[in-house]
Chains A and B, each alone.
Chain A
Amino acid sequence: MRVLVIIVLLLSLKILSAQNRQLLYNIQELPQTLLSNPGSVINFDKHIGIPLLSGFSVEVGSSGVSVYDIFRSDRNINNAIDTAISKLDNSDYFSVNQQLEILSFGWRSRQSDIYFSGGLYHEIDAILYFPKDIAVLAYRGNVDAIDKVFDFSDISFAAESLSVYHFGLQKKLNDSWQVGARAKVYMSVANINSIDNAGSFVTRSTPNGPNFFSHQLRDARLGIQTSGIASLFDDEVATDAREIASNALLSKNIGVGIDVGFTHFINEQWLVTGSLIDIGFVRHREDVASSSATGNYETNGLELEFPAAIQGVNTTAYWQELEEEFEDAVTIEDSLSNPYTSWRPLKINGSVQYSFGEDRGEACNCTSHLKRSYNNRVGAHLYSIKRPRGFQTALTAYYEKQWGNKLLSRVTYTYDKRSSRNVGLLISTKINKFNLYLAADNLIEYTNLAKARGASIQFGMQLVFNNK
Chain B
Amino acid sequence: MTTIEYRQAPPPVDFGSLTTATGTAPPVAQDVTYERILDARSEPQNWLTYYGAYDGQRYSPLDEINTQNVQRMTLAWVFSFSPQGLHAGQSTYAFENCPIVVEGVMYVSGWDGWVWALDAKTGQLLWQYKHAIPFDTSLCCGNVNRGVAVAHGKVFVCTLNAHVLALDATTGECLWDVTSGDVRAGESLTVAPLVVKDRVVVGSSGGEFGVRGHLDAYDLETGERVWRCYTIPKPGEPGSETWPAEGEAWARGGGNCWITGTFDPDTNLLYWGTGNPAPDFDGEVRPGDNLYTDSVIAVDADTGEIRWHYQCTPHDLWDYDSNMECILFEQDGRKLLAHFDKNGYCFVLDRTNGERVRIFPFVDRITWGEITPDGQVTARIYPEAEGEEVHFHPGPAGAKEWTHAAYSQRTGLFYVPVQDTGAKVARRRREFKESIPYWGAAVTVDAQDMAGSVTAFNASGEEVWRWRNDLPMCASVLATAGDLVFAGTPSGKFVALDARSGDLLWQFNCGSGHHSSPSTYSIEGKQYVAVPVGWGAWVEGFLPGMMGGPHGQAMFVFALSDGIDSSGGR
Decide if A and B are genuine partners.
no
Q: Which residues of A contact B (CB under 8 A)?
A: none
